[in-house]
Every structure is written in structure tokens, then in C-alpha cells.
Amino acid sequence: MVAVDEDEDSRVVSPNELRQLVCYLPQDQTSNAVLTVFEAVLLARQQRSTWLVADSDLQRVAAALFELGIEDLALRHLNELSGGQRQLVSVAQVLVRDARVLLLDEPTSNLDLQRQLEVLQQLRKLAVAGGRTVLVALHDLNLAARFADSIVVLSDGVIRAVGPPRAVLTAELLQAVYGIVADVTLGADGVPHVVPVASARRDGFRQ
């Protein structure tokens, strides 16, 4: 059981309720299921409450595939897809859920730059317009700075910094945590941009 706050009252939710509240997308999304893309996304949609399929569910699935630009894959089987395509299907499965909290581990790792931006734009839209809490694990600092309201920097399981990107992503922190020398500049929109320059070793800088 997990206690949550709702309307200033504390209540206890069951594991089943928790599965409805929280949606987790792991980095490894291999599957041997003999399903089409549309079926796989619809199955994720139905995990939220009932196995009955309404027209609104079918429309929601179709909309998610369209938003990610993979509607042409709808009738393809999962085992026929590339790694990047399977990853986009996994993101579509997240988009169709009504969970209040989304946890995603490296959702852009197998995608090209255009697809990375499209996926993060959709997740940002869910957070801002949909009122969701979206927590994404990313290794690309510039993507994190562009789309995140707040960044948590972890090192060896320890939180090293928390805050808005412009306050967290500093040259000093990057050297201390990542062992790199980097130039950090702020754009006109206040978003920091990180340019790695060199590796910093414990015995000094190596040019």
C-alpha cells in the first residue's frame, strides 16, 4: 500500500490503484508477443481500467500513432520492427494511458535527432497541457535542459544537484560529476547549452 495526498487528505491506494496512477517505461522493450502495433498500443490503453473497447479507445490509439508519425506501422507485427520503431511504439503505449505519473528510462536512446525531439515534445505536452508528472532519465544534457522544468543530477546513486536547468548545469558541476571540462552558455530563452571541451582526470587536465 502507498499513501498519497489528494485534496489535502491522506488516503491509501492498493497496488492495483497504483498501477493505474503510475506508468513506467523501461529502457529494454524487447517483446516476443505476436501482436500488431495497433493491438499492442490498444492493450496498453486497456490496462487502465477495463477490457471493454470503446470507439474512444480506438480513436485514442490512432491519435497516438499519428502524433508520433508511425500510423503506417499500425498493422505491422512487433517482431518485424527495428529497435527505434519498437521504442516509438512503447512511447505510444505511454501516451494512451491515463496515468498521473509517467516514469520513462531513456525513451529516446534508439532514435534519431528528429524523433528524439518529437517524443520529448509530446511528453512535454502531456506534462504542461495534460497536468501529468513526467520523470525522464536522459544522458543528453542539452535535451534535458531544453525540455525539463527541473533537473536532478545523480552520481553513484547520490543526488548531486536539483533545480532548474540554468541553475544546475554549470561548468563546475559538470567537472565535479562527469569529469569533463565544458563551456556552458545561456541562450536568449535562458536555456543552457553544454559544449564538452575536454576530459578532466584526477591527476589534472589532459589536452
Which H or E element spans position 159? Answer: strand 158-163
Tens of pLDDT, residue by residue over 59-81, are 999 999 999 999 999 999 999 99
Q: Topology of 10-137 in CATH?
A: Rossmann fold (3.40.50)
Q: Can you give the pTM of this predicted structure?
A: 0.79
Alpha-carbon distance 108 to 165, whole Å?
Answer: 19
Q: Are 89 and 31 a contacting pair, CB within 8 Å?
A: no
pLDDT of residue 54: 86
Tens of pLDDT, residue by residue over 89-101, are 999 999 998 888 9
Tens of pLDDT, residue by residue over 155-169, are 888 999 999 999 999
Alpha-carbon distance 125 to 196, whole Å?
Answer: 29
Domain assignments of the chain as residue spans, ordered by start? 10-137
As a whole number, the mean pLDDT across the chain is 86
The three-point CA angle 153-155-156 to 5° equals: 150
pLDDT of residue 20: 72
